[in-house]
Amino acid sequence: MKSICLVLSVLASTALMAPPASAAVVAVMPVQGVNLTPGQCDAIGVLFTQAFARETSVAVASPLETAPLLARGATAAVVAKQLGAAEFVDLRAVQLENRVTLAGIRYGKEGNEVFRSETVAPGLDDMQLATARLARSLAWRQPIADAPYASASSPMVPPMAPLTAVPRADEGPKPYPKALGMKTALIFPWSHNRSYAPMMSLQFDARFGSRDAFIEIGAGAAIPTSSSGSNQDLVQMGGVFAELGGSMYLSDGNMAPYLGGGISPRLWVVDDARYSSADGATCALYGQAGITLTRDSRSRLYAELRVSQYVIGLAEGSYYSSGGNHPVGDTLYPTEFALQIGLGW
C-alpha cells in the first residue's frame, strides 16, 4: 500500500508541475531495479530527477522521457545527445527486505564517468530524502558522509547515518568556490628592433565562476631582472598592472587544461642606457593556455603559458649624444612570452 501511494503521489506531482519545454542539460536514465516493481522504479527516477533539477537549477530529462528512446535500441550516451543533454545519470535501486540501496553514476558528454555515489533508505517511504541526498552528492561531486554500503548489522560497517532533510527551494545550488591567491611569472618581452631585459612579476589573483569556466581578476607589479649595464641596446621595463580575463576548461577531470584571454592595462616605466626614461599608460591583450592541477580541491594550483601583445605603445625618451639631446619618437610595441604559476584558496 505504501509503495502504491508513493507511485501515485510522484506521478501526480509530475503531471501538475508541467515545466516549459526546454533542452535538457542532464538526462536521467530509467532506474534499474531489483525486487522493485516498474512503477516503483519510475517513481524513484522521477523523485531523483526533481531533486537533481532543484539542486542544480538546470533542465533535467526524467526517465519517463529517456525510456522510450532507450527502448528503440539506443545507448544511454546516444539518448543524451538526442535530447541535447551534456551529461547523463544511471541509477540502480536494490530492495532487500525493507531497505533500499540507491546508487547513481554521473557521466560526461563523451560517456566518461564523472562521479559515483550510493546511499540507503530504510524503506520506500524515505525515498524522497534518499534521492535528495544522492542528487546533492552527484551534483557537487561530494561523497555522502558516513554513507552505508552494506548491512547495518555487519560489524565491519558503521550504522546507517540518518537521512538529512530535503534542501529548501530557496537555498538554490551551491556556487563553485572562488579561488583567491597569488601568482608569479617570468616574462620575456620581444620585438624585432629592440632587446629587452626579462621581468619578474608578483600579483594578487582571483578566479570566479563555475566548474567549467572562470573569470580572472588580478593586480600586481613587475620589475626587470637585469640592468642595461654596458649593453646600451637593452631596454628595461616595469611598473604596476591590472588584469581582467576569462578562461574555459577543456576537460572534466580534477586535472584540467584551459584556454583563455583578456586585457592588461599598465602604468609602465621604460629605460635604457641611451635614452632618457619614459613612462606612461599602456595596455596589452593576452591569450593563455594553462592547466589546473587540483581543480576540485580547496587549494588550487595552476600553471600557464601566456602571450601578450601591446596595443598601446610606449614612446622612448630623448637620445643622449655629444651634440645634445635629440627627440627620437620611436614607440615600442613588444610581444611578451610568460610562464606563470599560481595558487589560490
Q: What CATH number is attached to the domain comprising 45?
A: 3.40.50.10610
Element (H, E) at 136: helix 127-140
pLDDT-derived band at 279, boundaries 50, 70, 90: confident
Cross-strand bridge partners of residue 224: 199
Q: Cβ of 145: how many Cβ atoms within 10 Å?
A: 9
Q: Looking at residue 48, what is its pLDDT? A: 95
Same domain, 142 and 230: no
The residues, ordered by sequence, that sit 6+ positions from 15 with a Cβ below 8 Å of its Cβ are: none
Examine the fold and report which residue of 120, 138, 171 is the final residue of a domain before the chain moves on.
171
Same domain, 192 and 123: no
Cross-strand bridge partners of residue 2: none
Owner of C-alpha cell 592595462: 265
pLDDT-derived band at 270, boundaries 50, 70, 90: confident
Same domain, 164 and 216: no
Same domain, 27 and 126: yes
Examine the fold and report which residue of 145, 171, 197 is the final residue of a domain before the chain moves on.
171
Dist CA 318 CA 120 (whole Å): 78
Q: Looking at residue 221, what is its pLDDT? A: 97
Same domain, 185 and 144: no
Same domain, 242 and 294: yes
> Is there a contact between 221 and 249 (Cβ–Cβ < 8 Å)?
no
Set of cell numbers at residue 254:
580534477
> Is there a contact between 288 and 305 (Cβ–Cβ < 8 Å)?
yes
Same domain, 307 and 223: yes
Dist CA 62 CA 47 (whole Å): 9
Q: Looking at residue 155, what is its pLDDT? A: 35
On average, the pLDDT of the chain sits at: 82
Same domain, 300 and 193: yes
Same domain, 11 and 152: yes
CA atoms within 13 A on the CB side of 49: 29
Highest mean pLDDT among 15-24, 153-162, 277-286, 299-308: 299-308
> Is there a contact between 76 and 92 (Cβ–Cβ < 8 Å)?
no
Q: How many domains does the chain have?
A: 2
What are 55-109's pLDDT values in tens digits? 888 889 999 999 999 999 889 999 998 998 989 999 999 999 889 999 999 998 7
Domain that holds residue 108: 2-171
Examine the fold and report which residue of 123, 146, 171 is the final residue of a domain before the chain moves on.
171
pLDDT-derived band at 289, boundaries 50, 70, 90: very high
What are 2-14's pLDDT values in tens digits? 454 454 454 444 4
Same domain, 226 and 248: yes
